[in-house]
Structure 1
Amino acid sequence: MTARVLVVDDLEPNVKLLEAKLRAEYFEVMTALSGEEAIRIAAEQQPDIVLLDVMMPGLDGFETCERLKANEKTWHIPVVMVTALDQQADRVAGLKAGADDFLTKPVQDIALFARVKSLTRFKQMTDELRHRHEAGARMGVLSQADLSKFDEQHATILAVTDCESIPALDQGSEHLPKHISVVYENDARMALEALRRGEPDLVLIDLSMESYDPLRLCSAIRAFDMTRLAPLLAIASRDETRHVVRALELGVSDYLMTPIDSEELAARVRTQLRRMRHIEHLRSSFDQTLEMAIMDQLTGLYNRRFLGAQGSRLVEEAHKSGEPLACLMVDIDHFKMVNDTYGHDAGDHILKEIAARLTTSVRGSDLACRTGGEEFAIIMPRTPRESAHEIANRVLRAVSGDKVKLDDGQTLDVTVSIGVSILHEGDKLATVLKRADEALYRSKQNGRNQVTDEAA
Structure 2
Amino acid sequence: MNKKILIVEDNKTLAKLIAKKLQSALGLTVDVAYSMAEAKLFIARYTYFIALLDINLPDAPNGEIVDFVTEKNIRTIILSGNIDKEFRKKILKKNIIDYVNKSGVDDINYIIHAIQRLQNNAKHKVLVVDDSRVFRKQMQTMLENLFFQVISVAHGEEAIGMLKSQPDISLVLTDYNMPVMDGLELVIEIRKTYTKNELCILVLSSNEDEEITALFLKHGANDYVKKPFSKEEFSCRINNSIEALENIQMITNYANRDYLTGLYNRRYFFDTINEYIDEVKNSGEKFAIAMIDIDHFKNINDTYGHDTGDKIIIALADILRSSTNPHDIVARFGGEEFCVVLKNINQYSAEEIFNRLREEVEKFSYHLKDDKYINFTVSIGATLFNEEESLEENINAADMLLYNAKKNGRNQVVFQA
Question: Given the two structures, how large is their TM-score scaled by the length of structure 1?
Answer: 0.49
The amino acid of 2:294's aligned partner reads I
SS at match of 1:244: coil
Q: Distance in 2 between matches of 1:199 and 1:305?
A: 26
Aligned to 2:208: 244
Relative to structure 1, the CA distance from residue 408 to residue 436 in structure 2 (aligned partners, 3 Å threshold; closer, same or farther) is: farther
Aligned to 2:305: 343
Deviation at 1:394, TM superposition (A): 0.9
Relative to structure 1, the CA distance from residue 277 to residue 385 in structure 2 (aligned partners, 3 Å threshold; closer, same or farther) is: same
Aligned to 1:400: 362
The answer to whether 1:296 aligns with 2:268 is no
Is there any run of 5+ residues in structure 1 with no aligned partner, and where? Answer: 1-87, 93-145, 170-175, 182-186, 235-242, 257-264
1:445 to 407, 412, 416: 407
* Residues 346-396 of structure 1: per-residue CA shift (max 9 Å, x gap): 111111111111222233443221111001111223434333321221111
Q: Distance in 2 between matches of 1:164 and 1:421?
A: 59
SS at match of 1:298: coil
Q: Distance in 2 between matches of 1:451 and 1:303?
A: 23
Report if aligned partners of 1:188, 1:217 keep a CA contact under 8 Å in 2. Answer: no
Deviation at 1:416, TM superposition (A): 0.6
Aligned to 1:283: 245
2:272 to 277, 302, 310: 310
SS at match of 2:201: coil
Report if aligned partners of 1:221, 1:228 keep a CA contact under 8 Å in 2. Answer: no
The answer to whether 1:378 aligns with 2:350 is no
Q: Distance in 1 between matches of 2:154 and 2:280?
A: 47
* Residues 124-182 of structure 1: per-residue CA shift (max 9 Å, x gap): xxxxxxxxxxxxxxxxxxxxxx98766555599x99898989xxx9xxxxxx9xx679x
Q: Distance in 1 between matches of 2:134 and 2:274?
A: 58
The answer to whether 1:273 aligns with 2:235 is yes
Report if aligned partners of 1:435, 1:454 keep a CA contact under 8 Å in 2. Answer: no
Aligned to 2:10: none
Aligned pairs (5 A) from 1:189-268: 225=190, 229-230=201-202, 232=204, 234=206, 244-245=208-209, 252-256=224-228, 266=230
Q: Distance in 1 between matches of 2:146 and 2:326?
A: 40
Q: Distance in 2 between matches of 1:202 and 1:422?
A: 46
Q: Distance in 1 between matches of 2:155 and 2:227?
A: 21
Report if aligned partners of 1:326, 1:420 keep a CA contact under 8 Å in 2. Answer: yes
- Give the alignment's Cα RMSD to 1 decimal: 4.8
The amino acid of 2:201's aligned partner reads L
Q: Distance in 2 between matches of 1:427 and 1:151?
A: 54
Percent identity for Structure 1 against Structure 2: 28
The answer to whether 1:369 aligns with 2:331 is yes
Relative to structure 1, the CA distance from residue 390 to residue 201 in structure 2 (aligned partners, 3 Å threshold; closer, same or farther) is: closer
Deviation at 1:333, TM superposition (A): 0.7
Report if aligned partners of 2:173, 2:201 keep a CA contact under 8 Å in 1. Answer: no
* Residues 315-362 of structure 1: per-residue CA shift (max 9 Å, x gap): 455553444332211110111111121122211111111111122223
The answer to whether 1:357 aligns with 2:319 is yes
Relative to structure 1, the CA distance from residue 277 to residue 430 in structure 2 (aligned partners, 3 Å threshold; closer, same or farther) is: same
Q: Distance in 2 between matches of 1:406 and 1:276?
A: 47
Report if aligned partners of 2:327, 2:343 keep a CA contact under 8 Å in 1. Answer: yes
Q: Distance in 2 between matches of 1:361 and 1:303?
A: 18
Count how many residue pairs are aligned between Structure 1 and Structure 2. 277
Relative to structure 1, the CA distance from residue 397 to residue 189 in structure 2 (aligned partners, 3 Å threshold; closer, same or farther) is: same
Deviation at 1:406, TM superposition (A): 3.8
Structure label with greater radius of gyration: 1
Comparing both chains, which one has the higher relative contact order based on Cα–Cα distances under 8 Å and sequence gaps of 6 or more?
1
The amino acid of 2:303's aligned partner reads T
Aligned to 1:329: 291
The answer to whether 1:390 aligns with 2:352 is yes
* Residues 12-42 of structure 1: per-residue CA shift (max 9 Å, x gap): xxxxxxxxxxxxxxxxxxxxxxxxxxxxxxx
Relative to structure 1, the CA distance from residue 229 to residue 350 in structure 2 (aligned partners, 3 Å threshold; closer, same or farther) is: same
The amino acid of 1:419's aligned partner reads G
SS at match of 1:400: helix
Aligned to 2:220: none
Q: Distance in 2 between matches of 1:221 and 1:312?
A: 31
The amino acid of 2:247's aligned partner reads S
SS at match of 1:419: strand
Q: Distance in 2 between matches of 1:277 and 1:302?
A: 29
Report if aligned partners of 2:381, 2:413 keep a CA contact under 8 Å in 1. Answer: yes
Deviation at 1:201, TM superposition (A): 9.3
Relative to structure 1, the CA distance from residue 404 to residue 292 in structure 2 (aligned partners, 3 Å threshold; closer, same or farther) is: same
The amino acid of 1:281's aligned partner reads E
SS at match of 1:253: strand
Report if aligned partners of 1:330, 1:417 keep a CA contact under 8 Å in 2. Answer: yes
